[in-house]
Structure 1
Amino acid sequence: MSSSSSSSHDDYTNYTLNLLDQVDDSLDDDVNSRRYVRHDHYDAHNRLMGDYFDEGCKYTEDQFKRRFRMCRRVFLRVMNDILNYDVNPLPSHFICDYLREPSLHDIHRLYEAHERIHGFPGMLGSIDCMHWAWAKCPVAWRGQYLRGDHSHPTIMLEAVASYDNWIWHAYFGVAGSNNDLNVLNTSDLFNSMLNEDMPDVPFIANGVEYKRGYYLADGIYPTWASFVKGFSSAVDEKRTYFSRQQAAAHKDVERNFGILQGRWHILQQPARAYARIQMRRLMYTCIILHNIIIEDNRYNIAENDWVYEPPQHIQRTWIERCDARARRTRELCDREVHEGLRSNLVEHLWAL
C-alpha cells in the first residue's frame, strides 16, 4: 500500500473515532437517551458465590432459605440437574417423580393419614381450581378468557392435594371463562381409572365396603361416586357436623393455592408471557419445585422412594376396551353410590 493511501486510511479511522466520541458525548448529555453500561459479570458471580454458596459464606442457611424459598442443598441439586440435562444417560425426570399419580402403597398411606387427621376413611385428597391472571392475553382471545367475577383474563389450574400439601394432580390451560365443572370435563384426572391402569383400593365406611377412594369437592362438582360434597342445606345436627368437617378438610387444596402463590411471586402477578405453553411450563415448574421442597422438609405422607414404571396395558380388542371404559364410566358417575357413601360417612364421623 502506498504512503498516500495509508495516510488516507488513517485519516478516515481518526475521523470515525472522533465522530463516535462526539456521538457518545451527545448521548451522555441527553438524560432521556439509553446508555451502554458495562457490567462486571465476573465480579458479580464471585460476590454471589461468596455470599451464598462458598464455604464460610456470608449468609446463613435460614437466610438462604428465606431468599430462595428452598434450602441450599435442594437449590444446588436442581441446578445440577438442569446443567447436566444433556448428558447421557439423562437424570431422572421430575414429572415422573414429583407430579405423578399415587401408587398402591401411596393410596394406603393417604387413607390412613386422612382418616386419622380428618376422620374421612378412603379419602385421596381434595380437588379445586385456581385462576392465574394473564396480562398479555391477545385482544382477539380476551372474550374466552374473561369471566364476570374476574376483571381480567385468566387461565385455570385444576389441582388435587392431600393434607401434607403434596400436589398429586395438576391440569393447567383451560380458559378462565369456564368453571370448575368445565375444567373437570377436559382434564385427565380419571383417565387411569377409566383405562383400568389405576388399582382399586377398597375401604370401609360405616361397615360398608367401597371399591376405590374419593376426593372432597365443593358444591359445583357433580354427584359422582368419586366425589364427596357437603350438604347445601343441612336438616339435622349430623349433616351440619358433616358439612363442617368436610369444609375444613377441603381446605387442604385451598391452602396449597395460597402456599404456591406465597412461595412463587410470579404466580401472584399477572402473567407477562404471550404464549400459553410458556405459562403452562411455568405453572408446572412451580408445582414440581413445591413438591420437591415438601419432600425435603419431610412433610410428605407418601415416601417418594419408588422407581417410575409405565403402566402395563392389557392386550384387548377394541370392543373390549370400549366396554371396559363404558363400565368404568358408569361406576364413576353413579349417583346412588355417591349418596350412599355420603350417608355412611355422615354416620362414621358422627360416631367418632
Structure 2
Amino acid sequence: MASSSHDHIDDTIDECIDNVCDQIYDQAMENILSYNGGHQEATKPKKKRAHVERNREEGHNRLWNDYFCENATYSPRIFRRRFRMNKPLFMRIVDRLSSEMSFFQQRRDATGRFGLSPIQKCTSAIRMMAYGSAADAQDEYIRLAETTAISCLENFVQGIINFFGDEYLRRPTPADLQRLLDIGEMRGFPGMIGSIDCMHWEWKNCPTAWKGQYTRGSGKPTIVLEAVASQDLWIWHAFFGPPGTLNDINVLDRSPVFDDILQGCAPKVNYTVNGHRYKLAYYLTDGIYPKWATFIQSIPLPQTPKASLFATYQEAVRKDVERAFGVLQARFHIVKNPALIHDKEKVGKIMRVCIILHNMIVEDERDGYTQFNVAEFEQTQSNRTSHVDYTLPTARLSNITEMMITRNEVRDKRTNERLHDDLIEHIWQKFDTNQGYNQDYN
C-alpha cells in the first residue's frame, strides 16, 4: 500500500515538471519571435496565386463571331484594317503554325477542358505588333493572361521566321531581278533594281552599359535598319542591328548587301544606257552614300534643264525605300513605338518578322495597288536592254585576287560618273521636259 502511494506521488511530480518545461519552451519561442520582429512573416510559406477564371471559350466564340464566321459582325474591310492583312492570308498563317508548331495546337488540359485556340493566340500576337499594345491589353477581349500573350508573341515570331523567312526575306532570284530591271527601265533607269536607305528604331529599354554605344548626341538609343525596297514596296534586303551612333556609310561597311557579288555567286546582269554597256546593277541613294558603280545619287544643285529633270526623277524613284519605311511603321506600330524589350536578339527577331509579314501582305495585295500592268513590261528578250543570265554561278570565288578585282569594280568611281552622265542623257531623251512625268509613269 505504501509502495503504490509513492508511485502516485512520483507520477504527479513528473507531470508537473513536464508542464513547467512546456511553459518555459513556449515562452522562450514567443520571446525569440518577438525579438526577431517580422521574421515570422518572412518565414511563412507564400500563398498560391489566386486563379482568375477568364472564360477562354467565351473569348474564342466572340472572336469567331466577330471576324471568322460566315456572317461575321465586322466586314472584310474592317478585318483588313485591324489585322493588317486580308482574312485568307491570316488563316494561311494560322493553319501553317497550328499544323507545324505544338504551341499553337489546341489541346485539352487534365480536366478535359480545351485550351486557347490557334486563332486566339495568333490574334494576340498580331494585335501586339499591329497596335504596339502591352501584353495585358489582350486580356479583356481575347481572354488570355499577360504571360500567355508574351509567350504567344515569342512563339509566333519564331514560327514566322522558320516557315516563311526563306521565301519572303530572300535575295532576288534571276526571275525577280529581270522583273526589277524591266520596271526600272520603264521608269527611266535601266539597270536599277531598287533604292537603299537606313532608318532608326528607338530602343527604350536599352541596357545602361550600352546606351553610350547606341545613342547619338543627346538623343535616345536607337538600332539601325538598312533596307533595299522596290517600286511595289517589297523589301529585298534588310540588315538590322548596328548601333544608332553609326551613319549610313558606317552601316554599309558592315552590311552584307554586296556579299553575293564579291563572292561571285550573284546572277550576271547586262544592260545598256545611252549606247554604253554595263554589267553591275545599281541602287538609287541619297547624297551620303559613296560614289560607287552600284550607287546613283541625285544632283544637289542642278544648273541645267537636263540635270534638273534627272534630279526630279531620281529623287521621286528613290522615295520607294522611304515609302516602304513609312508603310512598315504604319502597318506595325511596334516598330513605330520605342522597343520595350531588353534582349537585343528578340528585338531583331520582331523587326525581321514585321518585314516578312510586310512582304507577305505586299505579295497578297500586289495586283491591287501596283502602278504598272505586268503585261506591259514582260517584253520579248530582243526588245529588252537589260538582261539577266539565268545560269547561276556554280562555285564561289576562292581566289583573293579575284575578290579584290570584283570589289574594285563595285567601288569604281569612274564607272559611277560615266553611268551618271549616261542616265542624265537617257532621262532627257525619254521624257518630255514640258510635261514632267509622262503618262506611262503615272
Same fold at TM > 0.5: yes
User: What is the total number of aligned residue pairs between the two structures?
Assistant: 305
Deviation per CA, 1:134-177, whole angstroms, max 9, x where unpaired? 010011111111113x7211000000000011111000001001
- Which residue of 2 is the match for residue 96 of structure 1? 166
1:218 aligns with 2:286: yes
**8 Å Cα contact 1:133/1:271 also seen in 2:** yes
Alignment of 1:130-279 (within 5 A): 130-148=199-217, 151-279=219-347
Q: CA deviation at 1:313?
A: 4.6
Q: Residues 41 and 312 from structure 1, CA distance in 2 versus in 1: closer, same or farther, beyond 3 angstroms? A: farther
SS of match in other structure, 2:326: helix
1:40 aligns with 2:55: yes
Deviation per CA, 1:216-268, whole angstroms, max 9, x where unpaired? 00111111000000123323221122112111111000000000000001111
**8 Å Cα contact 1:180/1:220 also seen in 2:** yes
Q: CA deviation at 1:86?
A: 4.3
Deviation per CA, 1:198-217, whole angstroms, max 9, x where unpaired? 11111111111100210000
Letter of the 2:97 partner, please give it.
I
- How far apart, in 2, do the equivalents of 1:94 and 1:210 lie? 35
Greater CA drift, 54-63 or 184-193: 54-63
Q: CA deviation at 1:314?
A: 1.8
- Which residue of 2 is the match for residue 351 of structure 1? 429
**8 Å Cα contact 2:197/2:226 also seen in 1:** yes
- How far apart, in 2, do the equivalents of 1:138 and 1:146 lie? 12
1:314 aligns with 2:392: no
- How far apart, in 1, do the equivalents of 2:191 and 2:395 lie? 27
Structure 2 residue runs of 5 or longer lacking an equivalent are 1-48, 103-158, 375-391, 431-442
SS of match in other structure, 1:297: helix
**8 Å Cα contact 1:104/1:201 also seen in 2:** no
SS of match in other structure, 1:202: strand
- How far apart, in 2, do the equivalents of 1:37 and 1:122 lie? 61
- Which residue of 2 is the match for residue 16 of structure 1? none
- How far apart, in 2, do the equivalents of 1:348 and 1:114 lie? 13
SS of match in other structure, 1:84: helix
Greater CA drift, 56-65 or 173-182: 56-65
Greater percentage in helix? 2
**8 Å Cα contact 2:192/2:283 also seen in 1:** yes
RMSD (Å) for aligned C-alpha atoms: 2.3
Task: Pick from 412, 415, 430 the counterpart of residue 334 of structure 1.
Answer: 412
Q: CA deviation at 1:42?
A: 1.2
- Which residue of 1 is the match for residue 178 of structure 2? 108
User: TM-score normalised to the size of structure 2?
Assistant: 0.66
1:73 aligns with 2:154: no
Task: Pick from 52, 56, 68 the counterpart of residue 53 of structure 1.
Answer: 68
- Which residue of 1 is the match for residue 191 of structure 2? 122
Letter of the 1:227 partner, please give it.
F
Structure 1 residue runs of 5 or longer lacking an equivalent are 1-33, 303-310
Deviation per CA, 1:280-332, whole angstroms, max 9, x where unpaired? 10011001101101111134789xxxxxxxx765277x5x2x12211110110
Q: CA deviation at 1:338?
A: 0.4
Q: CA deviation at 1:55?
A: 2.3
**8 Å Cα contact 2:280/2:293 also seen in 1:** no
- How far apart, in 2, do the equivalents of 1:58 and 1:324 lie? 63
**8 Å Cα contact 1:226/1:338 also seen in 2:** yes
Letter of the 2:179 partner, please give it.
R
Q: Residues 156 and 342 from structure 1, CA distance in 2 versus in 1: closer, same or farther, beyond 3 angstroms? A: same
**8 Å Cα contact 2:265/2:396 also seen in 1:** no
- Which residue of 2 is the match for residue 12 of structure 1? none
SS of match in other structure, 1:147: coil
1:62 aligns with 2:143: no
User: TM-score normalised to the size of structure 1?
Assistant: 0.82
- Which residue of 2 is the match for residue 296 of structure 1? 364
- Which residue of 2 is the match for residue 27 of structure 1? none
